[in-house]
Every structure is written in structure tokens, then in C-alpha cells.
Structure 1
């Protein structure tokens, strides 16, 4: 007598699927996953050093250009004339990285002299000009 069959004849085809082996396979897979998941989540904490890959930026030198009240020009505390100023500005403009020109003028210096120095710096190729001021001392 066949199980689950409505008829008693042995010639009939039994269309039922035997699910017992499928359940056995699923239980085995479940046990394997239960065992392996904690192993996959287990990690060893390592304190690795942190490194920076940014290139070091070289600070360009600065040129201190001072103008006194009488119109004398000083290149890094050395007195120069207008012809030598143009030559030094052209030489400084060729350097890489290009230096920054720090322009300092006394309060009573004529603006015309300051404008001439700024024009010489621009025509010589210096792109960075900064003005240095002294705060009032009261």
C-alpha cells in the first residue's frame, strides 16, 4: 500500500515529493552558517600608524622693500637705486617659487614713489605684493 495514495493499485504514479532530504540539507546548511558567522565577524583590532602623502610646500622667501620719507629704497635693509631695483626684481621674478614682495613705506613718503616701486614690481614680473604697516603707538 502506497502512502498518501487514494487508490490501492500499484500502477498509479505517485506525484508527491519526498521533502525529508531537503529538510536535512537545510538543517545542515543552517548549522554550518551558525558556526561560521561568528568566525567571519571576529576581527583583530590593529592600531596602524597614520601617514600623510601630501607634498611639503616650500614657503617662498619674502623680500622686504622699504621706502623712507626722502624716497630712498632699501632691499632687505640694503640701500639701492632705481636701476638696481629693476634688476633685482627681474632676478627675483625668475625664482621658483616666486618670492613675495613686502612693501613698507614711512607715513610721510610721497605716494608717487610707492607707485613707482609697485609699477617696477609689476613690470618686472612679481605677482605677489604685500603692504606692511605699523600700528599706531598711542
Structure 2
């Protein structure tokens, strides 16, 4: 926003202006900050999966394996591999198709808190019969059933 003045002492003739070789990075910084805010807002929403209310347990957490498959059992008894609905009869066959019959594949089972225990065990049994031995149950961190019973007990 400054003005260019003619040199002192001088000739009011024409002068060649030298090109400005500085790069204006302000627009790039603005775009990057907007992208950063967008990613910060949308990152928590990218957690995809089947809506399951996990039970709480006071067990130590395991190291997470991002390559593991997740089998979810919903409250109504529906069984899903990642987000694909399957039946218990076809669970092992679908797992074989996904893993390439790799029995060492890690499988996480997410059972809804309100689903009957037998339904979760039926899913785990189908995985076991399919040859999958590395199966783990997923729970929410926090107090277990003893803490809940103690909190509800009258004094």
C-alpha cells in the first residue's frame, strides 16, 4: 500500500520496475488452517462401525491392531463383519473370504450390552469352528459389574 516515489535529485524519466520475487504465502496458510479445522472436526466422526453399546469392564487395555476384523453383535441379535450383515451360518465362510483362510487373523468381537450372552458366544463359537483362534472381546473401559453392584446396593 505504499507509493513509489521518484529518486531524489532527479530525472523524472521512466524507470523500470523490478518484478517482485517474493511469494505470498498468506492464502496458502489460510487454506491450510481451514483444512486443519475441517479434519479436526470430522476425524471423530470417521469412526465407522455398527452401533453397539459395549459393556464396561475394569480390565487392562490391549494393544490395538488396525488390521484386525471386527465382528459386532447388535442388541437385536444381528451379526456384522465390519459393517456387512451376515448370518451365523455364513460367518466363518465370509471370514475365510476376507482373510484368505488365514487362521492367525486377529478378530475382535463387539457384543452389545443388552444382547443375550448366548448370542455372543454363538458368534464366537462360529469363529472357533471356522479355525479362528485369536478372538478377543471388546468392552468399554471403566468400572466392572462389581462396582455397579456396590454403587446400587442400599446401605
TM-score by length of 2: 0.44
Larger Rg: 1
TM-score by length of 1: 0.49
